[in-house]
Chain A
């Protein structure tokens, strides 16, 4: 289960950040060496990201984040980089499932209200995002119950290991 309250700094990205920008296909040969693969996270969108991001920080993107490939490595390396949640105006379907399956929270909100470097506090229990820098609040819509359950177990593999089946 992710912490109920997440704190960190916003790293801003634009619209339509594809999985090829999150983790390029050319690094396919590193996919069985995850610590090495993770060094290239977001490389084609912002080469400095991997060196600047700190544990707990947030990726704050525009619309349709994570479009493209089904490679779950995209969600995985974001999590490995220490990112505690992805905030976006919208996310692509496969990335959304992958992130939740990896125990990486995704919050859909008006990210125009957040600037790069803003300090954020995200409460996963009520889906309220507090922008500490701007002293303002945003709310995120609710996920389907099944995704809430999977996220609260830390991802799909721990969920199925514990329950043995889907429980709807």
Chain B
């Protein structure tokens, strides 16, 4: 019997014939932390007393969740992480470099790798064909010390996407629709494996958006093949040598198969307070909003800013709506400046934040007031997520977010574009 992508990668990295349901110990190509999970991880790492890092060059600290630091306590946490990086020789990415998952995509991830991070959206790197998953601090501390971790090899769902997206409909609408189909725990412990002609022609940035949200259906990984799109992306980021083709076997076994037709999809929204509480934008049009947030590891990439800028170009945000934009990395910010997107967004009335997680997790830079509503391009809309349990969050694509910033209410991008 053939193997799924997950079974192939975990067989390779564990040196066993890994099959769904097996428990394996696999080597990790990258173990990382960020500034809100890192301090606990480092304290636990020191407790293990295993000596140094197994692989300093394959260990990374990203300072991205609260940058520049909004408080003395968080500044001290960040100092603690900087000292750890100095002591151990691991890689460190300073505040403003970008969101960990974007930097992992730009600088580390490649097909066939195993990547673990102390952040649930580590799944993002599945867009490049990596078996990438989030874990807690203890697991990452041990992965940093031993260079390996244990996995239960997941059963896989095959998600086949055919057809062509309509204009102003894309990866975010696809993944919101998929989470609506699966439910918030419909893929718990499972791997989502993507294929189909719409996937073959989907560039890596959009794949990263889809993989990023696999965890919102409970999945362990959301994984794409290593193909021509992967090769192009790696070449663009000067890592062409990291490319290798990666496809599942034709006779691999899947627990469930889901077929989606991209041409039938409409702009989608996740309503408060659950990611699987989805609706088409049309059904919600007219819903008043107070803030629009464009950015995050889901939709803060160059292509996302381009999409928003092309809708906001020459237009103004509604005066009742705050428009906040945070590029996912310094590279994204630079390229968006050169392409003129940042100027277009600023002209439309946007506040540009430094590259980082920004308003997504409720620490700073856009905390909502009581009974306020935000339309965000992020991946989570749980109660309290943006710092206030009395506020509401809707999730949508950059196109829908940009269109809604103009009108002040949830708006189908095709109505203003």
**Residue among B36, B74, B141 with the most chain A CB within 10 A?**
B36
> Which residues B34-88 have CB closer than 8 A to chain A?
36-37, 39-40, 44, 47-50, 65-66, 71, 73-74, 76-77, 80
The distance from the CB of A70 to the nearest CB of chain B, in whole angstroms, is 4
> Which residues A124-164 have CB closer than 8 A to chain B?
144-146, 155-157, 160-161, 164
The distance from the CB of A42 to the nearest CB of chain B, in whole angstroms, is 11
How far apart are the CA atoms of A24 and B137 in the complex, in Å?
17
Classify chain B's interface size.
Answer: 35 or more
B141: chain A residues within 8 A (beta carbon)? 157
Which listed residue (B36, B80, B134) contacts A25, Cβ 8 A?
Answer: B36
Classify chain A's interface size.
Answer: 35 or more
User: Does A72 touch B at the CB level, under 8 Å?
Assistant: yes
A72 with B136, Cβ < 8 A, contacts A168-B23, A168-B25 known? yes
The distance from the CB of A167 to the nearest CB of chain B, in whole angstroms, is 10
Which listed residue (A71, A98, A160) contacts B50, Cβ 8 A?
Answer: A160
User: Does B279 touch A at the CB level, under 8 Å?
Assistant: no
A63: chain B residues within 8 A (beta carbon)? 185
User: Does A32 touch B at the CB level, under 8 Å?
Assistant: yes
User: Does B184 touch A at the CB level, under 8 Å?
Assistant: yes
Binds B, one of A53-61, A89-97, A109-117: A89-97
A101 with B138, Cβ < 8 A, contacts A18-B382, A28-B363, A161-B47 known? yes
User: Does B274 touch A at the CB level, under 8 Å?
Assistant: yes
The distance from the CB of B383 to the nearest CB of chain A, in whole angstroms, is 6
How far apart are the CA atoms of A24 and B23 in the complex, in Å?
32
User: Does A123 touch B at the CB level, under 8 Å?
Assistant: no
A160: chain B residues within 8 A (beta carbon)? 48, 50, 142, 145-146
User: Does A73 touch B at the CB level, under 8 Å?
Assistant: yes
**17 CB < 8 A contacts A-B:** A16-B185, A25-B36, A28-B74, A31-B40, A32-B76, A44-B383, A63-B185, A70-B134, A71-B136, A72-B136, A72-B138, A76-B40, A92-B218, A98-B135, A157-B44, A166-B25, A166-B146
Q: Which residues of B contact A (CB under 8 A)?
A: 23, 25, 36-37, 39-40, 44, 47-50, 65-66, 71, 73-74, 76-77, 80, 117-120, 122, 134-139, 141-142, 145-146, 148, 150, 152, 184-185, 188-189, 218, 220, 274, 361-363, 367, 380, 382-385, 387, 389
> Can you name 12 extra interface pairs (CB under 8 A) apart from A32-B77, A157-B47?
A20-B382, A21-B383, A26-B387, A63-B185, A70-B37, A75-B136, A98-B136, A155-B138, A157-B44, A157-B142, A161-B47, A166-B150
Q: Which residues of A contact B (CB under 8 A)?
A: 16, 18, 20-21, 24-26, 28-33, 44, 63-64, 67-73, 75-76, 90, 92-94, 97-98, 101-102, 144-146, 155-157, 160-161, 164-166, 168
